[in-house]
Amino acid sequence: MEATRYRHEDYRETADWLLEHTEQRPKVAIICGSGLGGLADLLDNRVVFRYEDIPRFPTSTVQGHAGQLVFGSLQGRECVCMQGRFHFYEGYDMHKVTYPVRVFFLLGVKTLIVTNAAGGLNSSYNVGDIMLIKDHINMPGFAGQNPLCGHNDERFGERFPCMSDAYDCELRTLAKQTAEEQGCIKFLQEGVYCMLAGPTYETIAECRVLQVLGADAVGMSTVPEVVVARHCGLRVLGLSLITNKVVTDYDSTEKANHQEVLRTTELRTEDLQRLVRHLINKI
């Protein structure tokens, strides 16, 4: 896969185009995972851009990802919401997967909320639980697929950014308080998210390895965007919707599939939307 090389001017061109086409000046950006694009439908005073109409923007190819950038207000706070993200498994390199995050930074965004659908590795998790991400394991990064590889532009961030504080502790505390207020605390978890490259679901042996490593949930996204967001100095809150329990028994007849993921997001989407909507008001 040939690496894409973007310059500061490329990100600036996209950001300036968006600023010219909307009067919204968001401080919060939300990236919606599989089947979770309904979060964008909650916005008031919506201004919608198709990805293919935005200069230099990639396009989404996955079912459950609408491929729209939506500006608007949520609880009176101006936000920008990605209805559909980009994935390494779509054939995009990490620079293209994370392209929107640096655009958000140039738009003036200060906080990034990332959501995803994930498989539950922790045996105490149930399908439909919402996991606050407290840390991550970057498996593609172990293999050299890190979005910060290559030339570092100091206008975005320092060469060697810290990741031990990737997921903002204060935002997680606010999320817990909000979950309690909204009656979501009974299915709220907090754990470690592991990213694999995909698009295949995990083998039984791989799931067992990830459990030994300390991962509570596994998916195919999120980590690259978080790495770039922290490089830019954005605060990050991550939420995983547990859409299936991974298979760790060779005698099991269960099989992970994307349709199951989308069905589960439909069942829990109202709760997740309510949590994010009321949380935005506190940030």
Do 193 and 133 form a contact (C-beta atoms < 8 A)? yes
Question: In whole angstroms, what is the distance from residue 221 CA to residue 13 CA?
Answer: 26
Determine the Cα–Cα distance for residues 244 and 128; give it in Å rounded to an integer. Answer: 8
Q: Which of 11, 87, 118, 125 is catalytic?
A: 87
Question: Which entry of 11, 15, 29, 34 is annotated as an active-site residue?
Answer: 34
In the annotation, is 117 catalytic?
Answer: yes
Beta-carbon contacts of 215 under 8 Å, excluding residues fewer than 6 positions away, are 121, 137, 191, 192, 193, 194
Catalytic residue list contains 89:
yes
Active site residue 258: yes
* Residue 169 φ then ψ, to 5°: -65, -40
DSSP conformation class of 148: T
Instruction: Considering the candidates 136, 220, 231, 240, report the single residue annotated as catalytic.
Output: 220
Catalytic annotation on 220? Answer: yes
Q: Are the C-beta atoms of residues 42 and 277 closer than 8 Å to each other?
A: yes
Kindly name the residue from 15, 78, 90, 94 that is annotated as catalytic: 90
Of 13, 66, 73, 89, which one is the catalytic site residue?
Answer: 89
Handedness of CA 49, 92, 225, 6 (dihedral sign): negative
Catalytic residue among 15, 29, 40, 117: 117
8 is catalytic: no
Active site (annotated) includes residue 244: yes
Tokens 């500061």 belong to residue: 8
Burial of 5 (0-12, 13-18, 19+ CB in 10 A): exposed
Residue of 116, 122, 221, 240 with catalytic role: 221
What DSSP string runs through 161-225? ---TT-S-HHHHHHHHHHHHHTT-GGGEEEEEEEE---SSPPPHHHHHHHHHHT-SEEESSSHHH
Catalytic residues: 34, 65, 87, 89-90, 117, 220-221, 244, 258
